[in-house]
Chain A
Amino acid sequence: MKNKIQGFLLFFALLIFIAPKTHAEGISVDAGLTPAQDRIIVRMQYRNIINKMGDNKMVMHMMPVVVAYGLSPDITLMMRNGYRAVGTNETMMEMQNSWMDPFFMGKVKLFRHNTRKYVFGLAGFAGTSFPAWNSSAAKTYSPVLGLNASFRPNYWAFDLNSAYEWGNYHTAEKSSEARGLQLNLAISRNLLIPGADNLVFAPVQEFSFVRSRPQNGETHSFGFISPGFQVVSPHFKFEGLYQIPVNSSETTGVKNGGRLILGVRFMF
């Protein structure tokens, strides 16, 4: 086991430090600065989520789809929806296959400085989910406010995403009210692929921190350490990430297990 971990760390270190170049944004969150005007980005993901209650396991398959449009260089509109399929459910929690509530978001460029050596930018965002379906998860809104900071020196990229969510903001019929703070740092580096000028491979390392504060119950902090990668071409990105839970306990009833994310992005 120790050898496996050492091997993995060595492989990751090799990807990061030996190869000369590349970069990427966060994979588990909608991070990044505002894209070009008229840019259309479609992102489709598959997320395999394992949660545990004692010895009982619950496996869910999430398929979120995100469509973003660059209204202007300073403003981006984004819509997200997805389908949740429940695989194995050995717990007592009632969970059904359903479409998720649609989520709409606007992102505004606050600052961007492009130089020969680096790019640094800040973007603010505000969004909310809408209880559009009869099968809506909470039958209420969940507004989110946040800030993206991006620093990209040469082939490196550091993307910090912070978001504060008012979960089940209004009247919670199905789920209890909660507040949540999320911080996500994605570090990556572009590695050139020999013979392919328009293709880069970018190993990604994400660190996520979540502080969940239910209105009734105990505040709980946990996180994920997530190694991953992206393959980037001019019109296409393929990405993969594995989220390893840290400090996840059953104080909120459910303990997080590992999460696998696979996705594609099309950029027009």
Chain B
Amino acid sequence: MKHKAFQFVITLFLTVFSATAIAGSGYENDQNNKDSIQQKKVIRYEVFGMDCPGCQSALEKQVKKIDGVSEAKASWQKKQVVVTLKPDAKVKEEEITARIKKANFTPGEKLKPEEDEE
């Protein structure tokens, strides 16, 4: 009887411990996912000087050279470039404006990212 009670306590302890561990790890995963979404940073700049689709690709090529940039999408019609950074990347804004200038364009104001980019 004593042996059965001991077995029950051990089983209960292991079950609770396992459940807590699984639940905990799930929470941790959720937290990690949340962090990585938060770390995906999008920067939007106004750019002057683009006047055709060819200008877009020239600007994108320059901005993608920055270490830490995962994606760059320029629009000659909207006169802007959207820069997506890699998680944990630290990119100085001066680096981005310098690259815009190397493409022979002029950086304007830094704009707020649109809702679907955040």
Interface on A for B, CB 8 Å cutoff?
Answer: 22-24, 33-39, 72-73, 109, 112, 114-116, 119, 152, 155, 157, 190, 192, 197-200, 202, 232-235, 237, 267-268
Chain A residues positioned under 8 Å from B51 (CB to CB)? 23, 119, 152, 155, 157, 190
Cα–Cα, bound, A104→B106 (Å): 29
Contact B48 A24, beta carbon cutoff 8 Å: no
Q: A267 to nearest B CB, angstroms? A: 5
Q: B87 to nearest A CB, angstroms? A: 27
Contact A119 B102, beta carbon cutoff 8 Å: no
Given contacts A35-B58, A36-B104, A114-B105, contact A200 B52 (CB under 8 A): yes
Say yes or no: is B62 at the interface (Cβ < 8 Å to chain A): yes
Contact B58 A33, beta carbon cutoff 8 Å: no
Q: Mark B49-79, 1 if CB is under 8 A from A, else 0.
A: 1011110111111100000000000000101
Interface on B for A, CB 8 Å cutoff?
Answer: 48-49, 51-54, 56-62, 77, 79, 101-106, 108
Contact B62 A37, beta carbon cutoff 8 Å: yes
Known A109-B104, A202-B52; further 15 A-B contacts with Cβ < 8 A: A23-B52, A24-B52, A35-B58, A35-B104, A36-B61, A36-B102, A36-B103, A114-B105, A115-B48, A116-B108, A190-B52, A192-B77, A234-B60, A267-B57, A268-B61
Cα–Cα, bound, A32→B26 (Å): 58
Cα–Cα, bound, A72→B104 (Å): 9
Q: B105 to nearest A CB, angstroms? A: 6
22 contacting pairs across A/B (C-beta < 8 A): A22-B52, A33-B104, A34-B104, A35-B104, A36-B61, A36-B102, A72-B102, A73-B101, A73-B103, A73-B104, A112-B49, A116-B79, A119-B48, A119-B51, A155-B51, A190-B52, A197-B77, A199-B53, A200-B52, A267-B54, A267-B58, A268-B61
